[in-house]
Every structure is written in C-alpha cells, then in structure tokens.
C-alpha cells in the first residue's frame, strides 16, 4: 500500500494518521537504516544509527512525535529530540549533527487538524523514493526486536533554537541594523526562532502570529493569510514584512507599502548576479559614471550606455518590460 505522498505521509491526525501508524513508521524507518548500515556514518564510529526529530506547534504533534521516537528507539536507533523547529531547521541539524535520518512532524500550511511525517536522508535532503518504498514494505512485518543495551537512547537536544538562529545569522552577507521588519510566524514552528534570528542580525522586529497554543497554527496568519502582515507593515512603518507557514518552509513578503512580493519575485531578488550589479540588476553607479558608451551603443535618458539598434538609436522597453517588480495592490499571493 502506497502511503507516502510527494511530501511524506500526511492526513487527519488521529484519523488516517494515527499513533499506531507513526510508531510503525518509526520502526520501519529504523529497520531500513540498519539494512543500509554500510552506507551510513554509524557503521564506522557510532554504535547505533542516529535520528533527529522535530515538529511544528500542532497539538497532535506531541503524541505523534513520541510515537515516532518510540518506534525508532525500540528498533535500536538513538534519537535527538529537537522539539519545535522549522522544517529547514530539522534539515540543518540532520546535516550538522551527522544524523542518519531526520524526521519532521508537520502538515506545513494545512489546517491544524491535519499533520504529517516526513523523513530526511543524510545531509538533510529529501529521502529517496526507493527508500520510502522500502519503509512502506516493512510496515507490519515481523522482526527481531533488540533488547537490553541494544535499544536506542532518547535525548532532548538543548540548544536547538540558539544554534539554529546563529546559523541563520551566519548566512547573511551584512547585518540588518537600521531595518524594521514585520515577521508573521503563522503561530507555527518559527514563532521563537524567527524573531530571534532577525533581532540577532540587528533588525528591529515586530512579530505577529507568534503566540502558538497548539490549536491556532495557520489560523488567519501566515503565508496563506497576508492581510495581517500588510496591515502591520503599514501601522509600524516597517521596511518590509515576511510571512511563513506553519513549518516555515515557505515564505511570502510585502514591501514597505504593503504590496505583495511573491515567491518567484523573492527568488529573482535572491538570485546571484555578476559583480557590480545590485539587487534589482542595476549596475554599480560609480562604475556607470566611469564607463564610456561602446561604439554603436545609444545613450538612455540618464546618460548611461544602453542597447541600440543598427543605426545607434537607443532601444526602449515595451509592454511587460516596463512593469514594476511588485504586483499591483490586491493581487493574490502565490502558494
């Protein structure tokens, strides 16, 4: 029976996704790890495989986490409990701690009653489809259970939030001092680490949707509900606003006027550019002043060399080439 979808196992918590299934998935994943031990780090150093497990703020994540952890440990896998952490954070610790598998318990942007279980391979990458099929094949099978000292150890990993926030800050090229940012955490996994990382990077942070109670994840806040973010950016005079979903693996933004910047535009802003070009693809102003027009090139209205036709006349953008980067106010956000 095929139970893995495109993003792990997902369904109504305590409906189709039960504690029994979570326990069985933990056992099956552990057995697959053991069968592939020659490919894993613990085969040459650690006495047992190592797993890290994190979750979002859904109330059902508590019993599902314990079920998955019990399955893994009962099958001889050591487990580090990361507790509440964004999905990218679990991927980071899977790699940084040299774990053989990572487990994320989350249904992402789905409503609170849903939940999910996703396995990550070594390095924090998506588990190969072939390994998912092996896990499915092991569900419900008879197996030789380890006993005594051969069972796994379960340990809370203490510095999760501080270490992940520090990791995020290290990815920046420059500090965020002088910027005021609104962050909508969807009452989800980023509620603690998200504002902390931005503040540690130097920004002034206004956090909204950052009071999880286990029942309010994605409820009226987050990347699928941008209204509160737009309002907060305008009310606080912020430079920008960002909204993540329940497990903080997706992000939308608004600019200082409250206009939406969708995922495609964010990717364009973040894309690498040749040296001397800024965030919007403009050349460095000092370099522009110093450069002379090339033979046959026209001059644009600002006096800089621009594209020209065969007679040296400057070409002007037409149609969509003149459009602004940001969509018009009221456009629907991407998903």
pLDDT category of residue 211 using cuts at 50, 70 and 90:
very high
pLDDT category of residue 311 using cuts at 50, 70 and 90:
very low
pLDDT at 6: 85
Alpha carbon 282 to chain centroid, angstroms: 29
Q: Report yes or no: 262 and 273 within 8 Å, Cβ to Cβ.
A: no
Please state whether the predicted TM-score (pTM) of the whole model is above 0.85: no
pLDDT at 279: 54
**What is the spatial distance between Cα 50 and Cα 97, in angstroms, rounded to a whole number?**
9
The residue ranges of DSSP E strands in the chain, in sequence order, are: 9-12, 50-55, 78-84, 101-105, 114-120, 154-156, 180-184, 204-208, 240-244, 251-255, 260-261, 298-299, 305-306
28-42, 189-203, 240-254, 268-282: the lowest-pLDDT one = 268-282
**What is the spatial distance between Cα 132 and Cα 320, in angstroms, rounded to a whole number?**
44
Q: Is the pLDDT of residue 285 over 50?
A: no
35-49, 62-76, 150-164: the lowest-pLDDT one = 35-49
86-108: burial string, b at 16+ Cβ within 10 Å, e else:
bbbbbbbbbbebbbbbbbbbbbb
Alpha carbon 334 to chain centroid, angstroms: 16
Q: Report yes or no: 195 and 189 within 8 Å, Cβ to Cβ.
A: no
The mean per-residue pLDDT over the stretch 51-69 comes to: 98
Alpha carbon 132 to chain centroid, angstroms: 21
Question: Which residues carry out catalysis?
Answer: 108
pLDDT category of residue 40 using cuts at 50, 70 and 90:
low
pLDDT category of residue 318 using cuts at 50, 70 and 90:
very low
Name all domains of the chain by residue range, CATH numbers in brackets: 9-158 (3.40.120.10), 163-258 (3.40.120.10)
Q: Is the pLDDT of residue 42 over 90?
A: no
Torsion of CA 283, 289, 293, 298, to 10 degrees: 70
pLDDT category of residue 293 using cuts at 50, 70 and 90:
very low
- The tens digit of pLDDT for each residue in 169-200 reads 999 999 999 999 999 999 999 999 999 999 99
């Amino acid at each position: 029976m095929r139970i893995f979808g495109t993003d792990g196992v997902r369904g109504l918590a305590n409906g189709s996704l039960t504690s029994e299934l979570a326990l069985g998935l933990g056992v099956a994943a552990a057995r697959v790890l053991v069968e592939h031990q020659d490919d894993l780090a613990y085969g040459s150093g650690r006495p047992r495989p190592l797993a890290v497990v994190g979750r979002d703020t859904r109330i059902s994540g508590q019993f599902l986490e314990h079920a998955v952890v019990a399955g893994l440990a009962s099958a001889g896998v050591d487990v580090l409990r990361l507790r509440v952490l964004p999905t990218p954070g679990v991927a980071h610790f899977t790699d940084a701690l040299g774990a053989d598998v990572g487990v994320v318990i989350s249904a992402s942007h789905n409503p609170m009653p849903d939940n999910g279980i996703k396995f990550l391979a070594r390095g924090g990458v998506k588990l190969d489809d072939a390994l998912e099929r092996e896990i499915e094949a092991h569900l419900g099978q008879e197996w030789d259970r380890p006993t005594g000292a051969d069972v796994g150890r379960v340990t809370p990993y203490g510095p999760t939030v501080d270490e992940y926030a520090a990791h995020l800050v290290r990815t920046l090229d420059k500090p965020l001092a002088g910027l005021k940012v609104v962050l909508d955490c969807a009452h989800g996994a980023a509620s603690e680490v998200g504002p902390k990382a931005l503040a540690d990077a130097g920004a002034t942070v206004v956090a909204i949707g950052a009071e999880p109670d286990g029942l309010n994840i994605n409820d009226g806040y987050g990347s699928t509900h941008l209204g509160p973010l737009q309002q907060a950016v305008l009310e606080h005079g912020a430079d920008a606003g960002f909204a993540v979903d329940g497990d903080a693996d997706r992000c939308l933004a608004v600019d200082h006027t409250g206009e939406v910047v969708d995922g495609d535009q964010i990717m364009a802003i973040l894309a690498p550019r040749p040296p001397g070009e800024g965030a919007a693809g403009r050349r460095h102003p000092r370099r522009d002043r110093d450069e002379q027009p090339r033979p046959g090139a026209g001059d644009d209205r600002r006096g800089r060399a621009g594209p020209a036709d065969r007679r040296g006349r400057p070409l002007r953008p037409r149609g969509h080439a003149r459009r602004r980067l940001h969509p018009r106010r009221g456009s629907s956000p991407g998903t």
